[in-house]
Amino acid sequence: MFDGPFAALPKEYVTSQDLIEIIALKGCFTIGGQKYISEFIPQFNRTIQLPANHSFFLFGARGVGKTSLLEGESGVNFIDLLDSRQFDEFSRHPVRLSEYIERLPTGRQWVVIDEVQRVPEILNMVHLEIEDHSRSRMGVGKERPVDRELCFALTGSSARKLKRGKANLLAGRAFLYHLHPLTHCEIPTNISVEDVVAWGTLPLILNASNDEEKKELLFAYVHSYLREEILEEQIARSAPPFRRFLEVAAQMNGQIVNFSAVGRDAGVSTPTAQNYFQILEDTLLAFRLDPFHESFRKRQRGGPKYYFSISAFSAYYLAHSIRP
């Protein structure tokens, strides 16, 4: 079924359902009890400049390459909250993070917590560890080794759960960055403009070797988003109304939005349509551009525009109907 970057996968395990898992875990996944990591998914030269000695948040939609970017760094300590065992451990006992850090050697230590929005409570322990290490290095306290410099890289694909749970966002102790799909200067020269227009610039999809493979991967991406970001997180009550909304929203990509008209076309109420657009923002799938006018009252009366950050997502709903 596959060649190119997926040729090394056992053929008996490469099914559409497995593709959903591949997309969902962004290049670090398990199929048939076998662990596969991101060398099966070629790396791109990203232009984002992350700090070398300061903690940071890195937000971005699923599949933009956050995990692959940080996995490429040597000497990082990786906590993957998409891993069911680690998720279970840290969701029940966030204090285990301190026990984990106690075992780290001295020197500069980077701890990556992937998909941190899945366990917002762990951010309280991150805050505590940053403060304890900082005080020890300044000679104020003795809670942590003086010769250990601790930094965190915290990735997330949804801000909704962090907002809803009023999570501790570390009050300036961590910088904030966003990673988007590949930009024009990150796209390899062997990839055509036609492919970029047709399929968008998600690294995994863009690097697929043929159109059929790209179609399967895009289908898997859409269903992974609906299943993992929307239904499992209980953001929307059911998939069918949200699917209908996505079809309408795709047609409104980059246009002034009338929430009442969108709700009517999608078969939902106006408040539900507004909430669905907020979901797109919170899951980093789209961003909102408010109208500008010198008059504040006229600005309030104008409708916003929404742009899909994953252009292939909107193209998919325009060009294809979702398969059952």
Lowest mean pLDDT among 10-24, 182-196, 267-281: 10-24
pLDDT digits (tens, 9 = 90+) for 283-310: 888 889 988 877 777 666 778 999 988 7
Lowest mean pLDDT among 128-142, 229-243, 244-258: 229-243
Residue 165 is predicted with a pLDDT of 61
Predicted TM-score (pTM) of the model is 0.78
User: Is the model's pLDDT at 20 over the cut of 90?
Assistant: no
User: Is the model's pLDDT at 12 over the cut of 60?
Assistant: no
What CATH number is given for 47-178 in this structure?
Answer: 3.40.50.300
The answer to whether the beta carbons of residues 45 and 11 sit under 8 Å apart is: no
pLDDT digits (tens, 9 = 90+) for 180-221: 888 888 888 888 888 888 888 888 788 787 888 888 888 888
Q: Mean pLDDT over residues 5-12, rounded?
A: 43
Burial level of 92, CB count in 10 A (0-12/13-18/19+)? exposed
User: DSSP secondary structure string, 91-144?
Assistant: HH-TTHHHHHHHTS-SEEEEEEEETGGG-TTHHHHHHHHHHHHHHHHTTS--SS
73 CB-side CA count, 13 A? 18
pLDDT digits (tens, 9 = 90+) for 105-132: 989 999 999 999 889 999 999 999 999 9
Is beta strand 34-36 parallel, antiparallel or unpaired with respect to 29-31?
antiparallel
Is domain 193-319 annotated with CATH 1.10.10? yes
User: Is the model's pLDDT at 25 over the cut of 70?
Assistant: no
User: Is the model's pLDDT at 27 over the cut of 50?
Assistant: no
pLDDT band at 319 (very low <50, low <70, confident <90, very high): low
* Residue ranges in 176-228 assigned as alpha helix (H): 193-199, 203-206, 211-224
pLDDT digits (tens, 9 = 90+) for 61-110: 888 889 888 886 777 899 999 889 999 999 999 999 999 999 999 899 99
Q: Mean pLDDT over residues 267-272, rounded?
A: 92
User: Is the model's pLDDT at 16 over the cut of 50?
Assistant: no
Give me the residue spans of the domains in the chain: 47-178, 193-319
Q: Mean pLDDT over residues 152-162, rounded?
A: 84
The answer to whether the beta carbons of residues 324 and 224 sit under 8 Å apart is: no
Structure tokens at 163: 């907002």
Residue 69 is predicted with a pLDDT of 87
Gyration radius of the chain's alpha carbons: 21
pLDDT band at 24 (very low <50, low <70, confident <90, very high): very low
pLDDT band at 234 (very low <50, low <70, confident <90, very high): low
Q: Mean pLDDT over residues 52-66, rounded?
A: 90
- Among 72, 78, 65, 87, which Cα is nearest to 39's? 72
Residue 11 is predicted with a pLDDT of 45
Residue 1 is predicted with a pLDDT of 35
The answer to whether the beta carbons of residues 168 and 124 sit under 8 Å apart is: yes
pLDDT band at 153 (very low <50, low <70, confident <90, very high): very high
Average pLDDT, the chain: 79
Q: Is 296 left (phi over 0), alpha (psi -120 to 50) or beta?
A: alpha
Residue 235 is predicted with a pLDDT of 64
Written as one letter, the residue type at 296 is F
Q: Mean pLDDT over residues 136-159, rounded?
A: 86
